[in-house]
Amino acid sequence: MIEKDSGFILRRYNFRETSLIASIYTYKFGKIRGIFKGFYSKKREFSSGLDIFSLNEFIFYPKRSEIWLVSHADLVSDYYFLRENISKAKVAAVIFNFIDKTMQLWDRNTYVFNLVNNCLSLLEEERSLKILYIFLIKFLTLSGFEPEFNHCLDCKSALSNDFLFSASKGGLLCRKCSGKIADAGRISAQASKSLLYIQNTDFPLVSRLNSTLQCEEEILSILKSFVSYHFGFDGLANIDIAQKYAGV
Ligand SMILES: [Zn+2]
């Protein structure tokens, strides 16, 4: 069987003298591993440099073994702006690292593919930190976690300024219900509303969100604890609110 598909290069390493192996997040097959035989001998079939972050069209041969032979690769976009802006590249790296760590091989999810595509496109114009929040919140929603930001998980009372967020429980708790939950920490109604807005708003409208610095600090801290608890992902550790001051 031969297939044509689009995919982002998540990770790559050299193999023997002339070949390359890459983890690719594709539209139709989810994450795959591909081998590009003769990549470094400048084969005409590989017109793309296959850089990390790049989106390409591939022709490959799906099979049962882990690594699939890729026979053609054509560049669709190399997101050149990422090479000129370290903060944006740092956020793109977190997104790709997160996809690589959390998605299983061949676990197809076209919504996640479109999410990565939308986020990379918006990253050129928007502040990188905002795109990171949007990516993570949307990803959690699409992958079934869907943290609750609207009312108390236990008693269902409506959001107020006296709410707490628990990563282990996966959402908001009112003061009364949060008593025995060790990891519950205070969250402002404003931060909850921003998170809810991201959860419920489609692209490109979602990028209109404007949050205060304090609100962004809260969102970042909530997401850090959530992805660390549920995915064992600590790749947000080096992302901090300083990016906001740098205006990126
Ligand atoms: Zn409650």
In this prediction, residues 222-230 reach a mean pLDDT of 94
Q: Which residue has the higher pLDDT, 159 or 204?
A: 204
The pLDDT value given to residue 241: 62
Lowest mean pLDDT among 17-31, 60-74, 175-189, 234-248: 234-248
Sorted by sequence, the CB contacts under 8 Å of residue 198 that are 6+ apart come out as 133, 134, 137, 138, 206, 209
pLDDT band at 172 (very low <50, low <70, confident <90, very high): very high
Using one digit for the tens of pLDDT, what is the confidence trace for 79-129?
999 999 999 999 999 999 999 999 999 999 999 999 999 999 999 999 999
Statement: residue 142 has pLDDT above 60:
yes
* 185 alpha carbon – ligand 1 mean position (Å): 14
Single out the residue of 224, 226, 222 nearest to residue 239, CA to CA. Answer: 224
CA 208–ligand 1 middle distance (angstroms)? 31
pTM summary value: 0.92
Q: Is the pLDDT of residue 28 over 60?
A: yes
85-245 CATH pick, 3.90.950.10, 1.20.1440.120, 3.10.105.10, 1.10.4080.10:
1.20.1440.120
Among 199, 207, 104, 203, which Cα is nearest to 146's?
199
Average confidence (pLDDT) over 169-196: 93
Q: Cα of 179 to ligand 1 centre, how many Å?
A: 10
Q: Tell how far the Cα of 146 is from the centroid of ligand 1, in angstroms.
A: 18
Q: How far is the CA of 197 from the centre of ligand 1 (A)?
A: 22
pLDDT at 144 over 90: no
- For 43-56, the pLDDT digits (tens) are 889 999 999 999 99
Say how many Å lie between the CA of residue 178 and the centre of ligand 1. Answer: 7
Percent of the chain with pLDDT over 70: 97
Centre of ligand 1 from the C-alpha of residue 216, in Å: 25
Query: CB atoms < 10 A from the CB of 215, how many?
Result: 19
Report domain extents, the chain. 3-78, 85-245
Position 157 pLDDT exceeds 90: yes
Q: Ligand 1 centroid vs 222 CA: distance in angstroms?
A: 19
CATH of 3-78, one of 1.10.490.20, 3.40.50.150, 3.30.430.20, 2.40.50.140: 2.40.50.140
Q: Please check the confidence at residue 240 and state whether its pLDDT lies above 80.
A: no
**3-state DSSP assignment of residue 197:** helix
Report the separation in Å between the CA atom of 165 and the middle of ligand 1, taken as the mean of its atom positions: 11
Helices 213-231 and 189-200 pack at an angle, to 10 degrees, of 70
Q: How far is the CA of 151 from the centre of ligand 1 (A)?
A: 8
For 118-136, how does the pLDDT look when each residue is reduced to its tens digit (9 = 90+)? 999 999 999 999 999 999 9
SS3 category, 178: coil
5-9, 115-119, 130-134, 244-248: least confident range: 244-248
Task: Give 86 Cα–ligand 1 centroid separation in angstroms.
Answer: 43
| Cα–ligand 1 centroid distance for 164 (angstroms) | 10
